[in-house]
Chains A and B, each alone.
Chain A
Amino acid sequence: AQSVTQLDSHVSVSEGTPVLLRCNYSSSYSPSLFWYVQHPNKGLQLLLKYTSAATLVKGINGFEAEFKKSETSFHLTKPSAHMSDAAEYFCVVSEGTGRRALTFGSGTRLQVQP
């Protein structure tokens, strides 16, 4: 079975400072991992994905995430936050087996202060 835990429900940073959104996963197989972003009243947009290639994955808008198997983590980072980064972020795991396909974390709301 697969599961994902987002360790912070809310994160607040100042504009121009680094962003760290934490995610831990559990999977019986070699998983694929995703980060999605949702801006207010919008659907979810894929930020980046890991599918067993390079462990450091670069995504859109300057975000990146590192897959660490030993720590079962897939934390999302950005060197310098922008006001437009304020949104909800979801960490997602997929084992690629069975019918459920994706398991979503509970989300982390990122606030960016001017």
Chain B
Amino acid sequence: ETGVTQTPRHLVMGMTNKKSLKCEQHLGHNAMYWYKQSAKKPLELMFVYNFKEQTENNSVPSRFSPECPNSSHLFLHLHTLQPEDSALYLCASSPQLGRSRLNEQFFGPGTRLTVL
């Protein structure tokens, strides 16, 4: 596997379910990101991790819970979601934060989430 992978690629869940999205990067990067992409809205940054530490939570509701056990893996735990949370969830990684030449982000293919 190369680059950034995300599983599952598609997920349908009810509002009472609990599920998790997984992201894995094989690039040796130290920063990882979750984005939400809804139809007809700009890309929304949700969470940022740098060297496994969360550095940004962009006012995301608590029904989204991220986890970064190491620099290669990032999870997004979901529970009691709402239909408006249906979107494409994108994971990205970059070498590290704070140095502009190293800020290029590499994206995974995304998980298409539908909340019924």
Q: Which residues in window 81-107 of B have CB below 8 A to A?
A: 88, 90, 92, 94, 97-107
Which one of B13-21, B59-67, B108-116 contacts A? B108-116
Instruction: List the A residue with the shortest CB-CB distance to B55.
Output: A99
Q: A-B pairs with CB below 8 Å: how many?
A: 72
Query: Main SS of the interface on chain A?
Result: loop
A78–chain B nearest beta-carbon distance, Å: 21
Q: Are B107 and A34 in contact (CB under 8 A)?
A: no
Chain B residues with CB under 8 Å of A104's CB are: 42-43, 45
Q: Which chain A residue lies CB-closest to B105?
A: A102
Which of A36, A44, A97 has the most chain B CB within a 10 Å cutoff? Answer: A44
Among A45-53, A54-62, A64-72, the one that faces the other chain is: A45-53
Contact B107 A31 (CB under 8 A): no
Which of A30, A32, A97 sits near B98, CB closer than 8 Å? Answer: A97
C-alpha gap A94/B55 in the complex (Å): 16
Contacting pair A101 B31 (CB below 8 A)? yes
Interface contact A49-B109, CB-CB below 8 Å: no
Are A101 and B109 in contact, CB atoms less than 8 angstroms apart?
no
Q: Once the chains are docked, how many angstroms separate the CA of A3 from the CA of B91?
A: 22
Contacts of A36 in B (CB 8 A): 107
Which of A41, A97, A100 meets B112, CB within 8 Å?
A41
Neighbour of A42 across the interface among B43, B48, B106, B110, CB < 8 A:
B110
Q: Return the contact of B100 from the options A31, A106, A107 (Cβ within 8 A).
A: A31
> Do residues A46 and B48 form an inter-chain contact, with CB atoms below 8 A?
no
Taking the complex as formed, is A114 at the interface, i.e. its CB lies under 8 A from any CB of chain B? no
A97 to chain B minimum Cβ distance, whole angstroms, is 7
Which residues in chain A, 17-51, are within 8 Å of chain B measured between CB atoms? 29-32, 34, 36, 41-46, 49, 51
Chain B residues close to A by CB (< 8 Å):
4, 6, 31, 33, 42-43, 45, 48, 50, 55-56, 88, 90, 92, 94, 97-110, 112
